[in-house]
Amino acid sequence: MRILLDRSTRAIARVFEQGSKRLEASSNYASHTLAGIVARRTGRDREAFVAEQRGAILALARLAKAGKANLYTTRIGFDEGIRVATWPDPAQELDIFSNSGVTNFEWVQLPFDFAKILGFYGNDLGDAERYKQTLRTVTDPQFVKGVLKNPSAFGFSDAEVKNLSAIAPVLRAAGPNSEHLLDVFQLWTAEVNGIPYFVTCDKTFIRFMTDTMKNPFASKPILPSKLCSEQSVAFNALGPTHENDFYTWAEAPLTQLIKAHDRGEAPPRAFQSQDT
């Protein structure tokens, strides 16, 4: 099973984030601040959905670790947040994939590398809006026409030129205002690379491609939970975590959370005060 993961899936896989919280006064100290990690906030309305997707992501990560699934990413997904939001050790306690032993994702080529356009590189490669603006420029019909007239000026390969010449359906699928351009471009990337599943936790995009556009691509945008159900992969909801929970590094919260999940127990709760 070959899967291209988007940023939203990787974000939900990060169950905990760095944080610091002023703990309640102990008997020995009036107050102190202890660095640690807190549950990522999702909002109560999303709690059940996120817990379900995390359980499915855990199942997919274990499939990948067992060699039964291949997980991919692109430079867009990497720069959009993965490279910028790096975690300190122990990273495996923060991220479902790392915790499961899946530390590397194979990169796939984009249909064309729009970063070849002069002026693209900068210090804000993690900014999704910049990607959208760049893609709007590069995929503008007049711009494409100019590129096709003189592809060597941009350093595009023959394969990239071929993809550019067939970009019209991609632009139509992005919506009237190109509001889904970034996601559509990654879905198109999955198709170009022969990857059948584009796993995303963006329900709005999935509904748009399914109900509004009638997905023109061979690759399918799909929730982690739906993919598991479709492939008969058993999973249970992971969590929910609680946004007020605060752990020290030594408490290994993600490991404890997964162990409780596997035993069918309630998620562990953090201590809100600590004597030193």
Please name which of 32, 38, 44, 22 lies closest in space to residue 270, comparing C-alpha atoms: 38
Lowest mean pLDDT among 82-96, 111-125, 160-174, 214-228: 82-96
If pLDDT is split at 50, 70 and 90, which confidence band does 192 have? very high
Beta bridge partners, 17, equal 38
| pLDDT value for 235 | 95
If pLDDT is split at 50, 70 and 90, which confidence band does 32 have? very low
For residue 172, the surrounding DSSP H or E stretch is helix 168-173
- Residues near 131 by beta carbon (within 8 Å), at least 6 away in sequence: 76, 79, 80, 182
| pLDDT value for 205 | 93
Q: Is the pLDDT of residue 88 over 50?
A: no
Does residue 217 contact residue 196 with C-beta atoms inside 8 Å? no
Give CA–CA dist 57/63, Å, rounded: 10
| pLDDT value for 42 | 67
Q: Is the pLDDT of residue 178 over 50?
A: yes
Averaged confidence pLDDT in the chain? 79
| pLDDT value for 23 | 47
Global pTM value = 0.82
Q: Highest-confidence range of 29-43, 71-85, 171-185, by mean pLDDT? A: 171-185
If pLDDT is split at 50, 70 and 90, which confidence band does 247 have? confident
Q: Is the pLDDT of residue 259 over 60?
A: yes
More confident residue, 223 or 142: 223
More confident residue, 31 or 69: 69
Q: Is the pLDDT of residue 202 over 80?
A: yes
Give CA–CA dist 134/271, Å, rounded: 46
Give CA–CA dist 188/198, Å, rounded: 9
More confident residue, 120 or 52: 52
Q: Is the pLDDT of residue 68 over 90?
A: yes
Q: What is the CA radius of gyration of the chain?
A: 21
If pLDDT is split at 50, 70 and 90, which confidence band does 127 have? low
Please name which of 62, 45, 4 lies closest in space to residue 236, comparing C-alpha atoms: 62
Residue recorded with tokens 């997964």: 258
For residue 171, the surrounding DSSP H or E stretch is helix 168-173
